[in-house]
Amino acid sequence: MKRPYIFCHMLTSLNGKIMGPYMDRPETEAASEVFYRIAFGQAPYYKHQGWLSGRVTTDDNFTFYEKPAINEAADPVPEGDYIADLADIYYVSIDPSGKLGWQSSDLVYGDTRAKVIEVLTERADNAYKDLLRRLGISYIIAGEDQLDYGLALEKLKDLFGIETLMLGGGGILNWSFIQAGMCDELSLVLAPVADGSRDTPSLFQAKEGLSANKAIGFQLEQVEEKEAGILWLRYKLQG
């Protein structure tokens, strides 16, 4: 395979939400620990070299909608990709037009320290690439206007040695990769909680111009009951 093996690993409420008031419940806190243990922590089930996040997820959790500190008068950067440091694990950020206000090339999640890789398209301008270079953040360019999935994934494998990649949300990112045929497995941690919010994101969300809405099937591989009524479900994608 020219791309990494890809599993989508997510924590949801019983009604498939990935964000919202249910997150403040103790059941969700317990489920977050289960979620973390399965893919991170000391003895994880999945041994991946990177996890992939959509631009909104990164802004919500790590860059907090800061404006990037760009220098419009920066000298032109060399063409093509930029590889700063190699690492054991990477946070792979899908940021097609270069919006995220990174402050550092390192990101800490629980007890995991990762190096950031930005996945850009040709829409990202010179000043943004210059900022990434100044911060020592690697970037790859995949696609003109739209993300070229195959190229991005091939580069992640060839340039950074990512053999297994976690697709880590949000719903827009997950669904776009699934619709593009770029997901092999779904790992779902189901917390015994719900709320009825109408406008919070779900596990999978189509976005106009980004992803189609072709329904797909899943084949159940494993069901495991964890502590406190939390379920861990693993499925293969049927297409």
Ligand X SMILES: NC(=O)c1ccc[n+]([C@@H]2O[C@H](COP(=O)([O-])OP(=O)(O)OC[C@H]3O[C@@H](n4cnc5c(N)ncnc54)[C@H](OP(=O)(O)O)[C@@H]3O)[C@@H](O)[C@H]2O)c1
Which residue ranges make up the site for ligand X (CB under 6 A)?
Answer: 10-11, 18-19, 54-57, 60-61, 94, 96-97, 99, 147, 168-173, 176, 201, 205, 210
Q: In angstroms, give the least distance from the CB of 123 to ligand X.
A: 9
**Closest CB to ligand X among residues 49, 187:** 187
Q: In angstroms, give the least distance from the CB of 116 to ligand X.
A: 15
d(CA 152, CA 4): 10
What value, to the nearest 5°, has the Cα angle with vertex 171 and ends 180 and 33? 120
**Closest CB to ligand X among residues 87, 191:** 191
Q: In angstroms, give the least distance from the CB of 35 to ligand X.
A: 7
d(CA 119, CA 196): 34
Question: Is residue 61 classed as helix, strand or coil in its secondary structure?
Answer: helix
**Closest CB to ligand X among residues 105, 176:** 176
**Closest CB to ligand X among residues 66, 85:** 66
Q: Say if residue 136 is exposed, middle or buried (CB neighbours under 10 Å; 0-12, 13-18, 19+).
A: middle
Q: In angstroms, give the least distance from the CB of 233 to ligand X.
A: 13
Residue with the shortest CB distance to ligand X = 170
User: In this structure, what DSSP letter does residue 62 have?
Assistant: I
H or E stretch including 26? helix 26-39
**Closest CB to ligand X among residues 76, 209:** 209
**Closest CB to ligand X among residues 44, 85:** 44
Q: In angstroms, give the least distance from the CB of 92 to ligand X.
A: 12
Q: In angstroms, give the least distance from the CB of 28 to ligand X.
A: 9
Closest CA to 39 of 28, 20, 52, 29: 52
Report the amino acid identity of residue 138.
S
**Closest CB to ligand X among residues 55, 115:** 55
d(CA 185, CA 219): 9
For residue 115, give Cα distances in angstroms to 28, 83, 91, 172, 219: 27, 11, 6, 23, 34
Closest CA to 97 of 119, 67, 69: 119
Q: In angstroms, give the least distance from the CB of 75 to ligand X.
A: 26
